[in-house]
Amino acid sequence: MAEHLASIFGTEKDRVNCPFYFKIGACRHGDRCSRLHNKPSISPTLLLCNMYQRPDMITPGVDAQGNPIDPERIQEDFEDFYEDIFVELSKHGEIESLHVCDNLADHMIGNVYVEFREEEQAARALQALQGRYYSGRPIIAEFSPVTDFREATCRQFEEHSCNRGGYCNFMHVKQVGRDLRRKLFGHLHRSLRSHSRGSRSPSPYRRRGSSSRSRDRDDYHDYYYHYYRSGSGSRRSSERHRSHDSDGSRRRRGRSRSRSRSPVREGSEERRAKIEQWNREREAAQV
Give the Cα separation of 78 and 55 in Å (integer).
9
| Domain parsing of the chain, residue ranges | 2-286
Class of domain 2-286: alpha beta
C-alpha distances in angstroms, 28 versus 151, 157, 261?
A: 17, 19, 31
What confidence tens digit (pLDDT) does each residue in 129-168 have? 999 999 899 999 999 999 899 989 999 999 999 999 889 9
State the pLDDT confidence band at 221, using cuts at 50, 70 and 90: very low
pLDDT of residue 166: 87
Query: Mean pLDDT over all residues of the chain?
Result: 75
pLDDT of residue 240: 34
Averaged over 60-76, what is the pLDDT?
84
Averaged over 259-278, what is the pLDDT?
58
Give the Cα separation of 266 and 281 in Å (integer).
21
More confident residue, 265 or 237: 265
pTM above 0.75, yes or no: no
What confidence tens digit (pLDDT) does each residue in 95-137 have? 999 999 999 999 999 999 999 999 999 999 999 999 999 989 9
Give the Cα separation of 191 and 212 in Å (integer).
19
